[in-house]
Amino acid sequence: MIHRLFQSIDKALHFKTAKAHCDIPCKIYDPSTAQLAALSCVRLMDLIKEVEDKGELGVADYAQVARLVSEKESASTEVKEAVRIIWGDYFKAPQFEQLPHAHELTHNIMLQASKCKQSITREEGEKLVELVNEFAAAFWLTKGVETYTAACPYPPALDVVYPDLKA
C-alpha cells in the first residue's frame, strides 16, 4: 500500500532517480569491470561479423545485429563509467604522482570507447582492451599488487592483466 502511494506521488511529481557508484568512499575499486566490458565489446564485434559473414540476411539476422550493436554500445559505455569512477573517486594526489600519465591514459580510454561505440571493427575493440589493461596494471601498481598477463579463458581469448593476489 505504501509502495503504491509513493508510486502515485512519483507519477505526479516526477522525482529524480538517484544513481551512484559510491559517493561515500567505500574503497572498493577494481578495474575488472572495465576489463570485462572491453572484452565484451570485442566479443560482440566478433558476433556481428559472424552474422555479416552469413551472406544473405533475413529479418531475424537484422534483429540480431541490432541487439548485438546495442549491447556493444552498452559495454563501451560501461568501460567509460568504470574507468571514470576509479579515476575520479579513487585516484588522488599520491596516485597521480605515482602515475603522471593517468589523465592521458583515462582520456585515451574514453576516446577509444567512443570509437568502439561508432565502429564494429575488431581492431578498435582490441585497442580498447589494451588501454584498459594498461589502466588495470597502473591501478594495481598503486595498490602495491603485482600483476600478470594471461589469455582470458573465454571468447575472445585476448590477453588480460590480472592481479597476482597470491604474492
Q: What is the CATH number of the domain that holds 145?
A: 1.20.120.400
Domain limits for position 90: 29-163
| Helices and strands of the chain, counted as H and E runs | 6, 2
Residue 158, in any domain of the structure: yes
β-sheet bridge partners, residue 150? 160
Residue 22, in any domain of the structure: no
Q: Residue 23 above 60 pLDDT? A: no
Residues 6+ apart with CB under 8 A from 151: 157, 158, 159, 160
Nearest CA to 117 among 149, 57, 76, 66? Answer: 76
Please give the DSSP secondary-structure letter assigned to residue 23: S
pTM given for the model: 0.85
In total, how many domains does the chain have?
1
- Mean of the per-residue pLDDT values of the chain: 92
pLDDT in tens, 91-102: 999 999 999 999
